[in-house]
Amino acid sequence: MRQFKIAVGNNLKNKIGELGFFLEKIIELSKVIEQRDLKRDYPLNEELDKLNFFFSAYLNTIQSLKDAFKAATGANFSWKDISPTYGNFVYFCRNATTHDGSHLINAGKEGRSYIAGPLRRIDNHKKVITFDPPNEDVFSLCCNLTDEILQSLTNLLKREGENILVLADGDFNDAIQTVLASDFMPNEVKGLIQSNIDGIEASFKGIKVDIVHQTIKAIANVARIVEDSLT
């Protein structure tokens, strides 16, 4: 369990980067669609399909962030916590895209792409759920949602960051043994490690991995994506 929690905490920065990656793709495609609409350069089916693909991946990344931050900190972290404004919407849409295979971006106006409602899906109890999406174009929606998520994650790190497990000397030593047992590591490399293992283990002593700092830095990088998209 300890190694699992360490791995989850150490990967938070990469999950933040994944959110930024898919956000950038949504921003880029939204701008392409808007420019082509201004030129009356139709059809836009391929671009709209790709926008839906990236939006689906973006929603699943938010789900991953919610679960990973909860696992790393041990704190309860609900959809309302990750996004007070959009949390319920993300929960609905993520289920609709993942479980129902829905393409949610289904409307356009003046070059902007929208999710037109009401949206409907059947829940686990075979009941029809109806949901009204925010009245925002997808570009603005994702930027505003990302801003809110990043602020929520920052607040959680400030409040619960000290509970995230970090690598200690024993964990580094365990990692070395894992490398030595790996079938993917060449034998000559294993031999070099074995012959220098005392020095390698000594070099790890006292190393501190500041997971909170590296995650906050990743959050700042994604925040700049939002800022740059609005200039």
Q: What was the pLDDT predicted at 222?
A: 98
**Could you list the residue range(s) of the whole structural domain that residue 25 is in?**
2-165+210-229
In a shared domain, residues 111 and 184: no
What pLDDT score does 111 carry?
Answer: 93
- CA atoms of 50 and 56, how far apart (whole Å): 10
pLDDT of the residue at 169 = 63
| 115-120: long-range pairs with CB below 8 Å, 24+ | 115/141, 119/92, 119/93
**42 and 68: one domain?**
yes
* Measured distance CA(113)–CA(196) in Å, rounded: 58
Work out how many domains the chain is built from and give that number: 2
Q: How far apart are CA 16 and CA 26, in angstroms?
A: 16
Distance (Å, whole) CA 190 – CA 210: 29
**pLDDT tens, position by position, for the chain (231 residues)?**
787 888 898 899 999 999 999 999 999 999 999 999 999 999 999 999 999 999 999 999 999 999 999 999 999 999 999 999 999 999 988 888 887 778 889 999 999 999 998 888 887 788 888 888 999 999 999 999 999 999 999 999 999 999 998 777 666 777 778 878 888 888 888 888 888 888 877 777 767 778 999 999 999 999 999 999 987
Q: Which residue has the tokens 């059947």?
A: 122
Q: What is the pLDDT of residue 135?
A: 92
**70 and 38 both lie in a single domain:** yes
Amino acid at 54: F
Measured CA to CA, the distance from residue 106 to residue 45 in angstroms comes to 11
Both 85 and 106 in one domain: the answer is yes
